Amino acid sequence: MAINVKEISVRDARGGERSLGEWAGQVLLIVNVASRCGFTRQYAGLQKLQDTYGPQGLAVLGFPCNDFGAQEPGTLPEIQQFCSSTYGASFQLFDKVHATGAKSEPYTTLTQAEPAGDVAWNFEKFLVGKDGTVLARFKSGVEPDSTELTQAIEAALAA
């Protein structure tokens, strides 16, 4: 069964409710991010994806998450400051979420997409097509500039 994110409601960085349906017609890369993780350097690659593919319709959506090794302890303003000053990251960040255990959206829904199961660590990536359908899932070790991920993004943008 295809999992669709259009009806998912999430909290933005200001605490307001946003529907992922607001991004209908765009390809989404949804990532659980953390500032003190071995994969934190991926912020730079995620921003490069936003810069490269954003004009073609990609939106990188970052969801700070403190579930794995307590590697995202900061407040949202601290996280935003860190991301922009350290990595030049300006892609959209949302309120902190839980990606495992008592999950919060978007992960309650995303983790039902095949291959179903809990998020394993920070910087796991979900690729969502223009129609809101989850197309692919990439583990933390898949770098933002990997051929596997960029080819999937390009195919989703061309669809």
- Selecting among 3, 37, 93, 97, the annotated active-site residue is 37
**Catalytic residue flag (residue 37):** yes
For the chain, what is the HEC assignment? Answer: CCCECCCCEEEECCCCEEEHHHHCCCEEEEEEECCCCCCCCHHHHHHHHHHHHHHHCEEEEEEEECCCCCCCCCCHHHHHHHHHHHHCCCCEEECCECCCCCCCCCHHHHCCCCCCCCCCCCCCEEEECCCCEEEEEECCCCCCCCHHHHHHHHHHHHC
- Catalytic residue numbers read 37
